[in-house]
Chain A
Amino acid sequence: MIRLEEVAQDYGDRRLLRDVDLHIAKGSFHFLTGPSGAGKTTLLRLCYGELTASRGRVLLFGEDRKDMGRDALADARRQVGVIHQDCRFLDHLGVAENVALPFTAAGLPVPADDLRELLGWVGLAAQAQARPPTLSGGERQRAALARAVIAQPAVVLADEPTGNLDWEMSLRILSLLVELNRMGTAVLIATHDLNLIRSAKAQVSARVLRIAEGTLQSAGSDL
């Protein structure tokens, strides 16, 4: 579904990523680790076409990102649920409206029952009408997760999705992602949380990748 071939990404004169090959296939589960500033977020942004690779090819659902028209790119993004570290909400809308955005943006009717059930599942039923700035960090991340998965995308890309959550809620979020993965959704999680990775590996066959010195490598067997 998403394939990176010999991708390099530059920031000015600095080459952040080089020779990156990655295939996110249907039903796959990846963890992405690496030190801060290694390029995890950049790699995720490449994966949903927000960035255009400096070199190499990024194929989104079979189409080269560089050849995609603007509408085709937008349509491809509808198949990818993204959870950002900074969550990215429309602060003037309520939580429920933010979570329903993938449907609104696609011009589709919002499935009210699914929305209510999902908000309940992530523990935000009481905050459905609240504005995002009034939420705690953990609540914001749960809302971002709900928005990423509500339209049942083919791929979920999560950048530190449990960074602001307690362990119990982290496991709950993980179990939702695992459940989605079992239904065929590909998942890529960028995280520092080794315990989360271990917990996931106990439930699902996950591949752990590490970005080191700009290259993407398989992590050691200790993970």
Chain B
Amino acid sequence: MVPGSGFTAVLTTGTALAMAFLAVFALALGLGADRLADRWQATLAQSATLRISAPAGEMAVQTSRALDILRATPGIASVRVLEPEEQRALLAPWFGPDLPVERLTLPRMIEIVEAGEGFDPVGLRMRLVAEVPGAVLDDHSRWRAPMVAAAAHLRTLAVLSVALIAAATAAMVALAASFSLAANAQVIAVLRLVGARDAFIARAFTRRFTLRALAGAALGTGLGMGALALMPALDGIAGDTALGGIGLRGRDWLWPLLVPPFAAITAWTATRAAAFRVLRREG
């Protein structure tokens, strides 16, 4: 019913393509941030480490005393002294796998597994300072707390990005639709002359713009998913960082498939609103 227009067709399809491409990345970022937040959150609830540096003659006594204090501390589920093999594995990245840990004066490491809300690190440190002078509580999980908050923030930003992409798409499609409506004033006049209702006229425009947005978004989504699939895996190198979190895993690949229908719904809504606004304004 409405003649094709090269300009509005390119504008709508191109906008939908670009926005869908960006939306796929925003989704991947959001889902990645979600995974990171979950992983870091889980790590938070796991463990802390107590490091005891003492002369060889006092090491056993201080270790035993520290274990007693830890076992009596509320919020600690279990404690365990790390075996030499485990210490070797921890130091391997720096000194290689053949480090003779038995011949080195290394601090004794005690792994602490927290329970429930966790322990009070300030109170525990005060007790340790008094009773185990060589002990240093490495509350290493605590530094992850701001990272979890950062990951959650990143997730919020991703959601906001998707919302902004949707709003920008709606604005561009509405602009293209308004342009098309203005360019087709004669078509609208003829349709009114033969008794077409506003809904019929609006439908003639919304159908065209919805299909264009759907096609553009499908192409953009395909390109975005392809780009993500081609991205090198960062697991083991930077897999635990925000950069390593970008990407889609398993069922996450289904989420981008929602982008084209969402773009089509956005275009339909924006075009319909623009069409009715123009039709009412022009009487």
> For chain B, what secondary structure do more than half of its interface residues adopt (helix, strand, loop), or is it mixed?
helix
Is there an interface contact between A147 and B198, defined as CB atoms closer than 8 Å?
Answer: no
CB-CB < 8 A to B200: which residues of A?
105, 107
Contact segment of A3-11, A86-94, A135-143: A86-94
Q: How many residues of B contact A (CB 8 A)?
A: 18
Q: Which of B190, B198, B199 has the most CB of A within 10 A?
A: B190
CB-CB < 8 A to B192: which residues of A?
50, 74, 77
**Whose C-beta in chain A lies nearest to the C-beta of B200?**
A105
Is there an interface contact between B197 and A101, defined as CB atoms closer than 8 Å?
Answer: no
Q: Which of B186, B191, B196 has the most CB of A within 10 A?
A: B196
Given contacts A70-B198, A74-B196, contact A101 B189 (CB under 8 A): no
CB-CB < 8 A to A74: which residues of B?
192, 195-198
B193: interface (CB < 8 Å): yes
B1: interface (CB < 8 Å): yes
Kindly supply a per-residue 1/0 record for chain B positions 178-207, scoring 1 wherever the CB is within 8 Å of any chain A CB and 0 otherwise.
000000001101111111111110000000
Is there an interface contact between B195 and A105, defined as CB atoms closer than 8 Å?
Answer: yes
Is there an interface contact between B193 and A82, defined as CB atoms closer than 8 Å?
Answer: yes
Given contacts A90-B1, A92-B3, contact A101 B198 (CB under 8 A): no
**Whose C-beta in chain B lies nearest to the C-beta of A98?**
B190
Tell me, rounded to whole Å, the shortest Cβ–Cβ distance linking A133 to chain B. 12
Given contacts A88-B189, A105-B200, A107-B200, contact A147 B194 (CB under 8 A): yes
Q: Considering the complex, which residues of chain B in the window 195-243 have a beta carbon less than 8 Å from any beta carbon of chain A? A: 195-200
Is there an interface contact between A78 and B195, defined as CB atoms closer than 8 Å?
Answer: yes
Q: How many residues of A contact B (CB 8 A)?
A: 24
Kindly supply a per-residue 1/0 record for chain A positions 200-222, scoring 1 wherever the CB is within 8 Å of any chain B CB and 0 otherwise.
00000000000000000000000
Is there an interface contact between B198 and A90, defined as CB atoms closer than 8 Å?
Answer: no
Kindly supply a per-residue 1/0 record for chain B positions 97-121, scoring 1 wherever the CB is within 8 Å of any chain A CB and 0 otherwise.
0000000000000000000000000
CB-CB < 8 A to B279: which residues of A?
70
Is there an interface contact between B196 and A105, defined as CB atoms closer than 8 Å?
Answer: yes
Tell me, rounded to whole Å, the shortest Cβ–Cβ distance linking A33 to chain B. 23
Is there an interface contact between A77 and B3, defined as CB atoms closer than 8 Å?
Answer: no
**Whose C-beta in chain A lies nearest to the C-beta of B195?**
A78
Is there an interface contact between A71 and B197, defined as CB atoms closer than 8 Å?
Answer: yes
CB-CB < 8 A to A147: which residues of B?
194
Is there an interface contact between A101 and B3, defined as CB atoms closer than 8 Å?
Answer: no
Tell me, rounded to whole Å, the shortest Cβ–Cβ distance linking A185 to chain B. 16
Tell me, rounded to whole Å, the shortest Cβ–Cβ distance linking B264 to chain A. 23
**Whose C-beta in chain A lies nearest to the C-beta of B201?**
A105
26 contacts between A and B (CB under 8 A): A50-B192, A70-B198, A70-B280, A71-B198, A71-B199, A74-B195, A74-B197, A74-B198, A75-B197, A76-B195, A77-B193, A77-B194, A77-B195, A84-B193, A88-B189, A89-B190, A90-B3, A91-B3, A93-B1, A101-B191, A105-B191, A105-B196, A105-B197, A106-B195, A107-B200, A147-B194
Residues of B whose CB lies within 8 Å of any CB of A are: 1, 3, 186-187, 189-200, 279-280
